[in-house]
Amino acid sequence: MIPTLRSYYNHNFTHRKYQDFLTALATEAGEAPAFKVAETPVFIPAALAAKLIQACDQVTDVIVRSDFKELTRNAIPNSMKVPHENDHPHFLVVDFAVCYDEKGELTPKLIELQGFPSLYAFQELMARQFREHFSIPGTVSNFFNGLDKTSYFEMFRELVVGPHQPEEVVLLEVKPHEQKTRIDFYYTQQKLGITPVCITELVQEGKKLYYERDGERIHIKRIYNRLIFDDLQRREETLGRHVNLFHDLDVEWITHPNWFYRISKYTLPFIHSEFVPRSWFLHELPVIPSDLENYVLKPLFSFAGQGVVIDVKQEDIDNIEEPENWILQHKVEYAPAIETPEGPAYCEIRMMYFWPDNTPRPLLVHNLARISKSKMIGVAQGKTQNWTGGSCAFFES
């Protein structure tokens, strides 16, 4: 989207460079990505960067409200509430579609947000390898707030490991070695020294949790939570015996599971901004719009785009049995903003935050990008296309 950088990148791109880039990712992380990594990063011009940061500030203004927990009191299903919720999530991500405004200028539109970690380790690795293999200039950066590779991982380590020994902290997931995002788990292990552990490997004694590493039973004092409880519930019958994480356990959560629900699609109707499409809880919708083709239906309790209805019809609304668990959101029209050698592509930008306990607001630190040539970005559909996939963005100052 920065014309000079885009033209230079496309002109100098070769498939050999791309394969060398992928090999470098695999070599440094210890395994190749199990998902498609795009052939290009996204170059964000200064004007769009300023709008993204302004939009993020308006989103976080709502999240830091003193009454936010009361506002989201119904966000957590009763069956999903975990004891000992803290004051705020330690990680926050905010997703925007890149669109055109009425003047034809690039602008962000909020898609979704999560009080949950993203690929915090892998995104640094990807951005650095893009820079090394494709001569990304120093005029653009993947970091925010003055961070660099060293200070970024120092802050990441302090947030996740904190005062504990790395072996006392685990990265918790359902079958972590089978997840498509496992490359991030392995690189997190390299950088922070913590072990990816499956919920089936946890052992409970009283309120304490343990796991075994190298033949030694180790007391878990803190969980870096990458487990999505919706996913856990869906896989309950096939997962086998495991610890009940809804019990009163003597363990710290980074981030506490309840924030996955509080900061989610559930939050969208409370955010009012030019960068946020109008959203309503379906059961509070004052009137059904006559132009439903301009809206999308989203289930509150799902992930990875599951259950989203893009082309809404009256019967779709009529057939919903629990309207309080759905939102109707004004449709976002993505801009074909990325010029590639094989035609234009759409993109989403994820703005990634750390939120240490001693700070009043989350701190913007890094980003993630998704590039697609279809209108369901981030959802696996059919044959993988060239110049699409997971990526990162470089921001102009």
Nearest to 197 by CA among 94, 219, 207, 237: 219
pLDDT for the residue 342: 95
- Tell me which residue has tokens 């190298």: 214
Residues 214, 241 within the same domain: yes
pLDDT for the residue 300: 87
Phi/psi of residue 269, each to 5°? -65, -15
- Return d(Cα 279, Cα 298) in angstroms, integer: 10
Q: What is the pLDDT of residues 301-330, one digit of tens each?
A: 775 556 889 889 999 999 998 999 999 999
Confidence grade of residue 367 (pLDDT, cut at 50, 70, 90): very high
Confirm whether 151 is domain-assigned: no
Q: Can you read off the two tokens belonging to residue 294?
A: 């301009």
Could you give the angle at the alpha carbon of 254 between the alpha carbons of 250 and 260, nearest 5°?
A: 110
Residues 96, 169 within the same domain: no
Residues 25, 134 within the same domain: yes
Residues 133, 2 within the same domain: yes
SS3 92: strand
Distance of CA 273 to the CA centre of its chain: 21
CATH number of the domain bearing residue 165: 3.40.50.11290
Residues 304, 343 within the same domain: no
Residues 305, 322 within the same domain: yes
SS3 158: helix
E-strand ranges in 230-362 read 252-254, 279-281, 295-299, 326-330, 338-340, 343-354
Over the chain, what is the mean pLDDT? 94
Given a contact cutoff of 8 angstroms between Cβ atoms, the answer to whether 91 and 276 are in contact is: no
Q: What is the pLDDT of residues 106-144, one digit of tens each?
A: 999 999 999 999 999 999 999 999 999 999 999 999 999
Phi/psi of residue 63, each to 5°? -65, -30
Residues 127, 181 within the same domain: no
Given a contact cutoff of 8 angstroms between Cβ atoms, the answer to whether 112 and 95 are in contact is: yes
The string of DSSP letters for 347-358 reads EEEEEEEE--TT
Which of 306, 331, 356 finishes a domain?
331
Q: What is the pLDDT of residues 144-162, one digit of tens each?
A: 999 999 999 999 999 999 9
Q: What is the pLDDT of residues 197-253, one digit of tens each?
A: 999 999 999 999 999 998 999 999 999 999 988 778 777 778 888 999 999 999 999
Confirm whether 122 is domain-assigned: yes
pLDDT for the residue 153: 98
Mean pLDDT of 48-57: 98
Predicted TM-score (pTM) of the model is 0.94
Confidence grade of residue 384 (pLDDT, cut at 50, 70, 90): confident
Q: What is the pLDDT of residues 331-341, one digit of tens each?
A: 999 999 999 99
Which of 222, 254, 286 finishes a domain?
254
Using the Cα atoms of residue 225, residue 230, residue 235 and residue 236 in order, give the sign of their dihedral. Answer: positive
Q: For 4-13, 184-193, 293-302, 360-369, which range has the lowest pLDDT when averaged over its residues?
A: 293-302
- Return d(Cα 301, Cα 265) in angstroms, integer: 8
Residues 356, 311 within the same domain: no
Nearest to 44 by CA among 367, 388, 376, 276: 367
Q: Can you read off the two tokens belonging to residue 42?
A: 């996204």
Count how many domains the chain has: 3
Given a contact cutoff of 8 angstroms between Cβ atoms, the answer to whether 269 and 279 are in contact is: yes
Residues 372, 326 within the same domain: no
Q: What is the pLDDT of residues 78-104, one digit of tens each?
A: 888 999 999 999 999 999 999 999 999
Owning domain of residue 57: 1-143+259-264+332-397
Q: Which residues contact 157 (CB under 8 A, 6 or more apart)?
A: 191, 192
Confidence grade of residue 382 (pLDDT, cut at 50, 70, 90): very low
Q: Which residue has the higher pLDDT, 367 or 238?
A: 367
Could you give the angle at the alpha carbon of 163 between the alpha carbons of 162 and 167, nearest 5°?
A: 85
Q: Is the pLDDT of residue 375 over 70?
A: no
Mean pLDDT of 49-76: 97
Q: Can you read off the two tokens belonging to residue 241?
A: 């015996």
Residues 134, 20 within the same domain: yes
